Structure 1
Amino acid sequence: MASSSSSVDMDPDVARRLFEEGATLVLLGVPQGTEFGIDCKSWQVGPRFRGVKMIPPGLHFLNYCSVNAPSCGGEIGPKTGHFLTLKPREILLGNWDPKEEALDFSASKNEEEVSRIRATLRELDPYLGPYPYEVMRKWVSLTDRLSEEMANNLQPLSGRICAFADVVPEVEFRHTKDRAEQPRNDTACQSMREGLDRLPRMKQREGTEVRFSVIPEKTYPPGATPAEITKCSMDLSYALETVLEKNHKQQPLNLLGELQFAFVCFLIGNVYEGFEHWKSLLTLLCRSEEAMRKHKELYLGLIAVLYHQLGEIPPDFFVDIVSQNNFLTSTLQDFFQFASGPSVDGTLRKRAEKFKAHLTKKFRWDFDADLDDCAPVVVELPEGVTVD
């Protein structure tokens, strides 16, 4: 790695323990200049790079993006990431696939190959960069609710999380006859709509989709009355309970792990879908008044998760994305309003008050301002339902 020296000196006992118990990533063939990172730190790969050593056992997020040679413009490609769970003294072997511009870990299943690497580990040592231990506390704070099982269940079946979706045509035109029946592109389009209609319809390649929980489009139960629809549109508890029942029935607090997974995918992996899902989950949680009274531990955990997440986002980030349509401040304003209710658990209410004061001081957000949209909530009525 280029310039991999840490600004924080590691305690000798910690260094010794990591040297003895830490896992090792042996990564062969990674092109020089590749942007490479693990957890919350990244580097540019140098000519001697062969991997990372002294990695604390547990869950980690490996990420990288290829870089063209300076003669080709030096452009940086889209980022690819892998959630990996490493055991003590484990050796994980990855080979660079130049065609895919990604790491292939299939060699790790070859015990003979791994044994060969283990036997030559001493010779490899000078080419292995040490894990950036100074980011470990930050990484744990961002993933303490995310288990190995959850990460495996959420990440794509391919094992790769890509910043740009891998898409293929919905219909493969393998025969000349099939292609002939499609709209011709040799004449000028009369409108933008016509041009878009001529493009083949695309879908994400099977196995590359992040497997997030599905957020219900309708926030109310089937057969709901207009009054129930209005209630469920203002208090999203029904929709939240639907997500918990379908995806996290045994452990509702696992929803916080999914929130962390989505946040890491966006913050470190540059996956915009992760940001959108983080927003959707946060909206569900913050605007569910009834659920707040029922799931005390879930909401105490939410405050802790958000405390660390918002502490890691650069201040100018809010100007560009989070403050778009005032999403975060208005969502948290609803959360603090519901959390201050008399029927909310006292511990949760006090913790929410402290969190509100912290955010007000750090970001100078005003959560006590009057809500902008005092107009009635416009809701979608089921087919056949009319309001006289």
Structure 2
Amino acid sequence: MATDMDPEVARSLFEEGATLVLLGVPEGTELGIDYKCWQVGPRFRGVKMIPPGLHFLHYSSFSAVGSGGTTGPRTGLFLTLKPREILMANWDPKEEDMDFSASENQVEVDRVRAGLQDLDPFLGPYPYEVMRKWVSLTDKVNQELATQLQPLSGRVCAFSDVIPEVQLTHTKDREEQNLPRNDTACQSMKEGLDKLPRMKLREGTALRFSPIPRKTYPPGATPAQITQCNMDLSYALETLLETHHQQKPLNVLGELQFAFVCFLIGNVYEGFEHWKSLLTLLCRSEEAMRQRPDLYLGLIAVLYHQLGEIPPDFFVDIVSKDNFLTSTLQDFFQFANGPGVNSTLRRRAEKFKAHLTKKFSWDFEADLDDCEPVVVELPEGVTLD
């Protein structure tokens, strides 16, 4: 955990920094905080000199069984640490998870604080070199928002924890659910899949992202209005903001950052899917861009840092599939250059566009299926005769 640090910064973090005391973590466990990850050694007892604020602690259990051993799926949790705070956890080998109940015992915490000097050689320093990067990725996220979005369990898990919707222990149970018997041979892949029970997420383990509105137009909309609302998603965006971020509309940028961190660091693919959906909603809301310049100036800053952290081959493998990112940003830049847009926002968007063009060689001037027909969803009972 060695790291080069300015002496003044080191002194400040030594005096004001928080400490994570993590006891019993098995050797070989992959453990990290924020944007840095290590493999736990035999002397590891925690992390010291942690800057106060929001952090993401993540870990993957290690099994020595098999050739070279195996690392389990990543688990993470968001923590907001206060100056000089000591947060304690013991490794639970049965659950392969951190148990923070020791932190609720003030006597135990005071005992550890009194012996902190003896514990110091076993504590690794916070990786200060990644602090600026971490803050740039999470500056719109606070603990209140993180608590609102993370699972009720408090754990962000790379693999979904799923259980059968109905316990089907007997053949008659399967028959009641109209499922085929297990003792019959499968004639096709579909038939085999149909034999599997329907699954659901274990209660308390699902990320609680704001649902993206499925209906993009207001009640009673005419066909022309529906078409307009499908081209300009401002109505859907305003619906999401009023429903989930009414008091603090800019929290939607914090949600975008939260989803990105869950994917990039927490390895949660659902985070990537929500990031895509939320980004599409923001970038394709022309009227909102005119009405909420502060939101969109913030969006440019958020995307600048996020796109700077994604590995280059990631775009080839996932993001650029079906031209998602380039087509979405093309709409954003087109709207940002439209009438009535704040002049500062227009200039900032042009600079951002030039930056992305230079860095990734993306062409935002090319036609990307602009001539495809727009499918209009008609309200119930309305026909075009």
Does 2:255 align with 1:258?
yes
- 1:152-191 correspondence runs (5 A): 152-173=147-168, 178=173, 181=176, 183-191=180-188
- Counterpart position of 1:378: 375
Deviates more, 1:367-376 or 1:30-39: 367-376
Deviates more, 1:68-77 or 1:291-300: 68-77
Deviates more, 1:173-182 or 1:152-161: 173-182
Q: Which amino acid aligns with 1:144?
A: D
Q: Which amino acid aligns with 2:7?
A: P
- Counterpart position of 2:219: 222
Once residues 147 and 357 of structure 1 are traced to their aligned partners in structure 2, the CA distance between those partners, rounded to angstroms, is: 31
Match among 86, 93, 102 for residue 97 of structure 2: 102
Q: Which amino acid aligns with 2:14?
A: F
Does 2:49 align with 1:54?
yes
Q: Quote how far apart the aligned CAs of 1:75 are.
A: 1.6
- Counterpart position of 1:74: 69
Match among 1, 25, 28 for residue 23 of structure 2: 28
Q: Quote how far apart the aligned CAs of 1:190 are.
A: 2.5
Does 2:340 align with 1:352?
no
- Counterpart position of 1:85: 80
Q: Quote how far apart the aligned CAs of 1:38 are.
A: 0.5
Once residues 95 and 321 of structure 1 are traced to their aligned partners in structure 2, the CA distance between those partners, rounded to angstroms, is: 38
Retained in 1: the 8 A contact 2:174–2:181?
no
Match among 295, 318, 329 for residue 292 of structure 2: 295
Structure 2 SS opposite 1:316: helix
- Counterpart position of 1:363: 360
Q: Which amino acid aligns with 2:5?
A: M
Aligned residues: 383
5+ long unaligned stretches in structure 1: none
Identity %: 79
Q: Quote how far apart the aligned CAs of 1:372 are.
A: 2.3
**Aligned-residue CA RMSD in angstroms?**
1.6
Once residues 100 and 73 of structure 1 are traced to their aligned partners in structure 2, the CA distance between those partners, rounded to angstroms, is: 22
- Counterpart position of 2:339: 342
5+ long unaligned stretches in structure 2: none
Structure 1 SS opposite 2:19: strand
Q: Which amino acid aligns with 1:213?
A: S
Q: Quote how far apart the aligned CAs of 1:50 are.
A: 0.7
Q: Quote how far apart the aligned CAs of 1:96 are.
A: 1.0
Once residues 197 and 217 of structure 1 are traced to their aligned partners in structure 2, the CA distance between those partners, rounded to angstroms, is: 28
Structure 1 SS opposite 2:203: coil
Match among 106, 111, 115 for residue 110 of structure 2: 115
Once residues 256 and 297 of structure 1 are traced to their aligned partners in structure 2, the CA distance between those partners, rounded to angstroms, is: 11
Q: Which amino acid aligns with 1:42?
A: C
Match among 307, 314, 329 for residue 326 of structure 2: 329
Q: Which amino acid aligns with 1:190?
A: Q
Q: Which amino acid aligns with 1:46?
A: G
Once residues 69 and 376 of structure 2 are traced to their aligned partners in structure 1, the CA distance between those partners, rounded to angstroms, is: 50
Q: Quote how far apart the aligned CAs of 1:274 are.
A: 0.3
Residue by residue over 1:141-183, the C-alpha shift from the partner in whole angstroms, topping out at 9 and shown as x without a partner, is 0011111110111111111000111111112357896467564
Deviates more, 1:225-234 or 1:252-261: 225-234
Deviates more, 1:353-362 or 1:111-120: 111-120
Q: Quote how far apart the aligned CAs of 1:249 are.
A: 0.7
Once residues 57 and 268 of structure 2 are traced to their aligned partners in structure 1, the CA distance between those partners, rounded to angstroms, is: 14
TM-score (norm 1): 0.95
Does 2:308 align with 1:311?
yes
Once residues 341 and 238 of structure 1 are traced to their aligned partners in structure 2, the CA distance between those partners, rounded to angstroms, is: 18
Match among 7, 16, 19 for residue 11 of structure 2: 16
Q: Quote how far apart the aligned CAs of 1:225 are.
A: 1.8
Q: Quote how far apart the aligned CAs of 1:102 are.
A: 1.3
Once residues 204 and 72 of structure 1 are traced to their aligned partners in structure 2, the CA distance between those partners, rounded to angstroms, is: 32
Once residues 117 and 179 of structure 1 are traced to their aligned partners in structure 2, the CA distance between those partners, rounded to angstroms, is: 55
Structure 2 SS opposite 1:5: coil
Does 2:373 align with 1:387?
no
